[in-house]
Amino acid sequence: MSLSMYQASVPVLIRMLDNLSHILDKAVKHAEAKNIDPSVFVNARLAPDMYPLSKQVQIATDMAKGCAARLSGLEVPSYEDNEATFADLQARIAKTSAFIQSVSAGQIDGSEDRTVTLKLRGKEISFAGQPYLLHFVLPNFYFHITTAYNILRHNGVELGKMDFLGGI
């Protein structure tokens, strides 16, 4: 049995968004327990030239919603990128997950060869659907979720590998 484009995208994206939401919940609880202003975590970064936690979540959700939309031929939902609190970030994750879940297997399956064109740094770059998913979306998506995890872990939030992987 072969793996469909839908199976390789939507369930994977939803699972990891759920795990990201769980990680953010743990950060909120940690901030409350240690009497830390939650904005410290939302604005935290690993290095001065890296994006803060809020932007990591924004980019991860952008990758997810963009993937589902582009592979299905739908318009990519536009978000303002103005999240400043954990509640804002959770709402963005929930909105993204709801959008992705609204896209059916029938809309995505067969998109292996669909041309996906992106504008990156002022240039247009085109992919076939399968390389777009496997070589662009998923690595970027995992990178930004991993970086969000690492920012929080670096700042003392008690996270482990199972928080990243979710229930297996």
pLDDT in tens, 112-133: 999 999 998 899 999 999 999 9
Mean pLDDT, the chain, rounded, equals: 96
Q: Kindly report the CA angle at 47 between 43 and 51, in degrees rounded to 5?
A: 50
Q: What is the DSSP string of 76-144?
A: PP-------SHHHHHHHHHHHHHHHHTS-HHHHTT-TT-EEEEEETTEEEEEEHHHIIIIIIHHHHHHH
pLDDT in tens, 59-108: 999 999 999 999 999 999 999 999 999 999 999 999 999 999 999 999 99
Q: How far is CA 9 from CA 68, 110, 154, in A?
A: 8, 13, 29
Q: Would you place residue 1 in the very low, low, confident or very high pLDDT band (cuts 50, 70, 90)?
A: low
The residue type of 69 is: A
Residues with Cβ within 8 Å of residue 41, at least 6 apart in sequence: 27, 31, 53, 86, 151, 152, 155, 157
**Residue among 160, 111, 157, 152 nearest 133 (CA):** 111
Percent pLDDT > 70 in the chain is 99
Q: Tell me the residue range of the domain where 104 lies.
A: 5-165
Residues with Cβ within 8 Å of residue 139, at least 6 apart in sequence: none
**How many separate domains does the chain show?**
1
31, with CB counted inside 10 A (0-12, 13-18, 19+), is buried
For residue 42, the model assigns a pLDDT of 98
For residue 168, the model assigns a pLDDT of 64
**Residue among 154, 150, 159 nearest 60 (CA):** 150
Give yes or no for residue 167 having a pLDDT over 80.
no
The CATH number covering residue 98 comes to: 1.20.120.450
